[in-house]
Amino acid sequence: MSNIADISEVSDIPKKSDRTRQAILNAAAKLFKERGYTATTLRDVADEAGMKAGSIYYHFDSKDAIMDEVLDTGIRAVYGAVKEAIEACEDDANYREKINASVHAHLKMLLSQGDFISANLRLYSQLPEEIRARHQKVRHEYADLWDQLLTEAKNSGYLRKDTEITPLRQFILGALNWTIEWYDDEKYSLDTFTDRCVHFIAHGIYEK
């Protein structure tokens, strides 16, 4: 059950406190994703993290604060992965390659590092306004990253001239994001799967 957040752990020997903190976040992300924010109790989280509910408060100020960090970790992870993927493309003007790489990166993060990002995507619309407000900014930045990519692709002739960027971006990400509802890593390897998705996105479902 590797998790993006673990990656961000760079210090040599993580202290006990940090490990516990991370355990709480991992547990919370998993349960939030599965059951939603309100339906997940702190007792559940504590159980999953191997501790008692009260102990959570040594590491976090509130349930909200945990959710905040889960959401933030999730979106930043995808953002970073996609950005890197774009920048790694050798031919700077090959937007087909860039878009494919982005789709790959987004999907891969989504499906492999799962809980944090899934929680973010799945629950965002259901969150109390108060929490949601705190995360609009990062989400917008990620949307902007895609919009910029797609706009350039369009200007370079890769997309039809009458393509509207915003709905396109929403459609692409939507198609990708919903995969977390049903992707089964025991049936298809991650790479096979993402390849196939990239193909659908690019060429649609029909023969030729």
Partner DNA sequence: GATGAATGAGGCTTCATTCAT
Partner DNA sequence: CATGAATGAAGCCTCATTCAT
Closest CA to 133 of 144, 141, 124, 123: 124
Least distance from a second copy to the Cβ atom of residue 177, Å = 6
Least distance from DNA to the Cβ atom of residue 15, Å = 5
Q: Looking at 101, 105, 109, 168, which residue binds a second copy (CB under 8 A)? A: 168
Least distance from a second copy to the Cβ atom of residue 7, Å = 26
- Given a contact cutoff of 8 angstroms between Cβ atoms, the answer to whether 82 and 105 are in contact is yes
- The token duo for 18 is 């940090």
125 binds a second copy (CB under 8 A): yes
On the CB side of 130, CA atoms within 13 Å amount to 5
For DNA, give the closer residue by CB, 54 or 174: 54
What is the sign, positive or negative, of the torsion defined by CA atoms of 167, 170, 172, 174?
negative
- Given a contact cutoff of 8 angstroms between Cβ atoms, the answer to whether 146 and 102 are in contact is yes
54 binds a second copy (CB under 8 A): no
For a second copy, give the closer residue by CB, 19 or 178: 178
Q: Looking at 18, 96, 133, 155, which residue binds a second copy (CB under 8 A)? A: 96
Q: Which residues contact 84 (CB under 8 A, 6 or more apart)?
A: 105
Give CA–CA dist 8/76, Å, rounded. Answer: 11
172 binds a second copy (CB under 8 A): yes
Which residues of this protein are in contact with a second copy, per CB under 8 A?
Answer: 34-39, 96, 99, 122-123, 125-126, 128, 157-160, 163, 167-168, 170-175, 177-179, 181-182, 188, 193, 196-197, 200-207
